[in-house]
Chain A
Amino acid sequence: MRRKASLVLLACAVFCAALAPLVRWYAFPRLARIPANQYQDMVLEARNATLLDYGTLRAKKVPKVTIVQTLKGDVEAAKKIARTAGRPVVVWDSLSYVQGPDGTMVSKVPERYIFDAHSQDPVHATGEMVDGDPVKREGIEFKWPFLTQKRDYEYFDAQTRTTNPIHYRDTRTFRGLTVYYFEQTVPWTKVPMPKTMPVRGITPESVARTGTTRWYTTVRRFWVEPVTGAPVYGEEIHQEELRGGTLLGGRAKVTAFAGHVKMREDYIDHTVDLVRHNRTLVLALTSYVPWGSLGLGLSFLALSLLLEARARRPQDPAGTRTQEPEPVSA
Chain B
Amino acid sequence: MRALIAAATGLALALALVLTVSALGSPSGRTSPEPLLTTVPAHP
Measured between alpha carbons, how far is A30 from B37 in the docked complex, in Å? 32
Measured between alpha carbons, how far is A181 from B6 in the docked complex, in Å? 49
Q: Report if A152 contacts B (CB, 8 A).
A: no
Can you show 8 pairs from A to B with CB atoms below 8 A apart?
Answer: A12-B10, A13-B10, A15-B11, A22-B18, A72-B31, A73-B31, A74-B31, A78-B28
Given the complex, which residues of B lie within 8 Å of A99, measured CB to CB? Answer: 40
Q: Report if A125 contacts B (CB, 8 A).
A: no
Whether B41 and A43, one on each chain, are in contact in the complex, defined by CB atoms closer than 8 angstroms, is yes
B16 to chain A, nearest CB (A): 10
What is the number of residues of chain A that contact chain B, defined by CB distance less than 8 Å?
Answer: 47
Given the complex, which residues of B lie within 8 Å of A7, measured CB to CB? Answer: 2-3, 6
4 smallest A-B Cβ distances: which pairs?
Answer: A14-B10, A37-B29, A270-B44, A39-B32
Q: With A31-B25, A36-B28, A73-B31 known to touch, is A18 a contact of B10 (CB < 8 Å)?
A: yes
Q: Report if A8 contacts B (CB, 8 A).
A: yes
Whether B13 and A15, one on each chain, are in contact in the complex, defined by CB atoms closer than 8 angstroms, is yes
Q: Among A89-97, A206-214, A239-247, which stretch is in contact with chain B?
A: A89-97
B44 to chain A, nearest CB (A): 4
- The interface of chain A, by Cβ under 8 A from chain B, is 3, 7-8, 10-16, 18-19, 22-23, 26-27, 30-31, 33, 35-37, 39, 41, 43, 66, 68, 70, 72-76, 78-79, 93-95, 97, 99, 105, 108, 110, 266-267, 270-271
Whether A68 and B31, one on each chain, are in contact in the complex, defined by CB atoms closer than 8 angstroms, is no
Measured between alpha carbons, how far is A219 from B18 in the docked complex, in Å? 44
Whether A11 and B10, one on each chain, are in contact in the complex, defined by CB atoms closer than 8 angstroms, is yes
- The interface of chain B, by Cβ under 8 A from chain A, is 2-3, 6-11, 13-15, 17-19, 21-22, 25-26, 28-32, 34-41, 43-44
A198 to chain B, nearest CB (A): 13
Question: Other CB < 8 Å A-B pairs besides A97-B36, A108-B38, A267-B44, 5 of them?
Answer: A14-B11, A19-B18, A27-B18, A27-B21, A270-B44
Measured between alpha carbons, how far is A175 from B2 in the docked complex, in Å? 55
B33 to chain A, nearest CB (A): 9
Q: With A7-B3, A94-B36, A108-B38 known to touch, is A15 a contact of B28 (CB < 8 Å)?
A: no
Closest A residue to B8 using CB positions: A14
Given the complex, which residues of B lie within 8 Å of A266, measured CB to CB? Answer: 43-44
Whether B28 and A79, one on each chain, are in contact in the complex, defined by CB atoms closer than 8 angstroms, is yes
Whether B18 and A26, one on each chain, are in contact in the complex, defined by CB atoms closer than 8 angstroms, is yes
Whether B37 and A70, one on each chain, are in contact in the complex, defined by CB atoms closer than 8 angstroms, is yes
Looking at the complex, which one of B6, B30, B37, B39 makes contact with A11 (CB distance below 8 Å)? B6
